Chain A
Amino acid sequence: MKTLLGYADQISVTAGDEIAFRVSSETAEAYDATIVRIVNGDLNPAGSGYREEEVSGTAWHIQGRPQKIHAGSCIVVDAAVPLERLADGWSVTLLARPTLPDSSGQDGTGQVMFSLRDRMSGGGMEIGIKGEEGAYVTVQGSQARVTCAAGVPMRRHEWYRLRVAFDAAKGELTLSQAALESCAGIADSADVTVACSVEPAWTSAARIIIAARATAEGETIFGGFYNGKLEAPCLLDHAGAVIGQWDFSIGIDGQDICDQGPFHLHGHTWQMPGRAMTGHNWNGSIRAWQDAPEQYGAIHFHEDDIIDAGWATDFSWQVPPGLKSGLYAARLRSATDEDHIPFVIRRTAGTGHAPLVFVLPTASYLAYANEHLAIDAALAERVHDHVPVFGASDVFLAERREFGASLYDRHIDGSGIMISSRLRPVLNMRPKYQSWLGGTGSGLWQMNADTHIIDWLEHEGFDYDIITDEDLDREGIKALSPYRCVMLASHPEYVSTRMLDALAAHRADGGRLVSLGGNALYWRVVYHPIMPGVMELRRCEVGNGWITDPGESCHAFGGEYGGLWERIGRPPHETLGSGFIGQGFDKCTYFRRQADSYNPRVTFIFDGIEGDIIGDFGLIGGGAAGIELDRANSAKGTPLNTLVLARSEGHTNTYLPSTCALLINYAGQGAAQSDLVRAEIVFFETAEGGAVFSTGSIAWSGSLSHADYDNSVSRMTGNVVRRFIDPAPFELPASAARPVSF
């Protein structure tokens, strides 16, 4: 059972920086904390052994306390409402497209669309939706309350115009629920009036909350979260004069909410509901919200949106000078549990640099953060051809949904999760963590799988630094320019434009690139412009787990079109020589050398390699070729001077083509029957004197430590890295090569 959970305020620090650790001790147990450097996070007894090194002088004893996560998004209007203007009555209009209309909310008291209430007393009014009753409006007086409900349910994914009005003189409360498009045989529109002798018992402390209600639990603890889209809420006085009129099509790429009314009742979003969402008037002619923001006036709220756990700091650490650049963690230990909160220490600027930099793909870690696929979706067992194995963290997350899920998962209303954050405990971004996605054997995935590479770099004695995707995104080429060779990890699938630009600039500088994984540089993501550690993905065109709704393919963060880089015009083949072709997650196999591997241009790579079979061993699935696989394809941008050094074989039928490689379904696509899904190890020189080596297989790094690191995978990788950090330029081959394709 997980009882210690935590996160850091930063993912990448350097000497002099202070990093804060925020921890929940669920049972209020005391715990000890120490900073450790993670060398190998794999517990597999068949491997080289788990290894972490304590940083001397770091020890804390903390009396733990539980800290809660309050998921759910809404809009908070900060300014006080001129309540005197509402004394004779008021009305509210808004457009709503509910995505969970059967629900009466988490606690059965309704999903609130718009509220103006006192936080402590609850006095005021709220408009919401409550299952079979459809829309409702409630006036809460000091002693009593009156509710007027439509009495007919709303349909899922349909737009409605709601109007509610309170007339103090007449003592009437009215509600109109009007479907914008009617459906034959379904009565889902209604106009209802009830007597209402109760007046809202609000005070000057009352605030407007959109898509939730204020609670007495705390100023930032809300309740009654709504699931669905809202658009154009408007509050009017009894005479019909505007008090507040919120236009969500303004400032789509930010968190501010603009009031067009006379009282400047501006607000801000809470826990980042989805913006850049099509409104009721989206007509299908527009693909980018920037082109017609007036058609993107909706915000999609979820009761399970979570961006920032907002926990208080338990302890902080100022990074001392002189520590080796690497992957570190705050290790927490109580009587009942252990946790590691990971972060990277970069080399201090001005203290020299290594020739090699290993980029930890923290964007991809965020994409997979707290994934629930095998818990929620029936696909898991068929994707990896065995029964999913869950550890304590998986079981914990299955129950504690407030910790949020990954960019593969769906919200409670079925819509895809588009925003991920590290400002919450990410339980699968940990040493020791085993994932159902990691194949048989060690079962490592993402960060923990990448410790196989760190372990190998340490064993081989290479001088290297570590940086993160966030560094690369923030600093661009500046983060890479000190280094001759860039090393990519086991599965850097998610990259931003700035990250790709940095890799391109590195290449233009004659830089070298060694990619030790599979399915790299595949999806475009966008980091939040001002909130570090928050990232958005618009999974459009082909989807994976879910797909964006029509018209919603452009990121709210900055507006870039989303999807696969190969559909955006920058396929991974251009950068790496190969790109994603297919996947399976059962057994991994081996590579067989191809004729190109005997070309004198790559003699250095095969120095000391015997035989044609490479990597028929390993901790991930038992071989170096597997999990997700990449192939060369000159039609997609593989440079014409690329050499295909080795190709995998022997895969099972669990290995199937990726959706981007598959333009039509047909029988016999399994890798045992078709030769399409194969991994290829590729190499090419660049015109600027650099070179690229890509293994095209996620499982590669799991084979590095085999036989005490004395094996063909380790030797090839070492041969490449040693040559790639050598300043001697590579030369392009004299003769034009032939196209590479399959």
Chain B
Amino acid sequence: MRANAPRIDPADLDPVREFRACPIGLHSPALEAMLNILRAGTMGGKYCIICLEPHRKWALGRLSGIRGVPPEVVPAVEYDDLEEAEWDVFRRRWEAETRTRLPPEFDAPLRETPTNRAGESR
């Protein structure tokens, strides 16, 4: 982390709850600031999502940051809901940045039934 970068307060879970409720869309200023920090990493090792089956199945990936070296699939991390993937990347980055595990309230699946297969916007 850069010396002058604002830190994320691991005790402030409101932006985390907000992201979990709505990963993509209008964010509060606090969540925008948090996302700007979490997304500021260098390209090498940065998380991405790799589509395995269009609109059905995705995997977690990591960019190489090296020209000509493709992103790699992270073994055994697959999703059947893109918002679940978005949340998982957020969680991994938040926990790495704060060196804190998110409390159990965030452990449940985002939703019981994936909605991406039928909904227009997902």
Contact = CB atoms under 8 A, between A and B. Distances in A.
B89 interface: yes
B32 A653 contact: yes
Interface centre among A45, A618, A706 (most CB of B within 10 A): A45
A434 B24 contact: no
B69 interface: yes
Interface string B4-32: 00000000000000000001111100001
Nearest to A653: B32
A89 to B, nearest CB: 41
Contacts of A395: 50, 70-71
A116 to B, nearest CB: 31
Interface string A352-396: 000000000000000000000011111001100111111110011
Contacts of B97: none
- Which 4 residue pairs spanning A and B have beta carbons closest together? A622-B121, A398-B70, A399-B70, A389-B49
Interface string A608-646: 000000000111011000000000000000000000000
B79 to A, nearest CB: 11
Interface centre among B50, B51, B61, B120 (most CB of A within 10 A): B120
B48 A376 contact: no
A561 to B, nearest CB: 32
A268 interface: no
B61 to A, nearest CB: 7
Given A43-B54, A44-B55, A586-B25, A390 B39 contact: no
Contacts of B89: 387
Interface centre among A46, A376, A618 (most CB of B within 10 A): A46
B42 interface: yes
A432 B54 contact: yes
A412 interface: yes
B67 A412 contact: yes
14 contacts: A43-B55, A374-B48, A377-B43, A385-B24, A387-B85, A390-B51, A398-B71, A401-B67, A434-B54, A440-B122, A617-B120, A652-B25, A653-B26, A653-B32
Given A389-B58, A622-B121, 16 more contacts: A43-B54, A43-B55, A44-B55, A46-B119, A386-B23, A389-B48, A395-B50, A396-B70, A398-B64, A398-B69, A440-B82, A440-B121, A618-B120, A619-B120, A621-B121, A652-B27
Contacts of A374: 48
Contacts of A388: 48-49
Given A46-B118, A387-B47, A395-B50, A375 B63 contact: yes
A672 interface: yes
Contact of A45 (B23, B27, B61, B117): B117
A559 interface: no
A338 to B, nearest CB: 12
Interface string B78-122: 000010011001000000000000000000000000000111111
B49 A390 contact: yes
A441 B121 contact: yes
B115 to A, nearest CB: 10
Nearest to B29: A653
A587 B71 contact: no
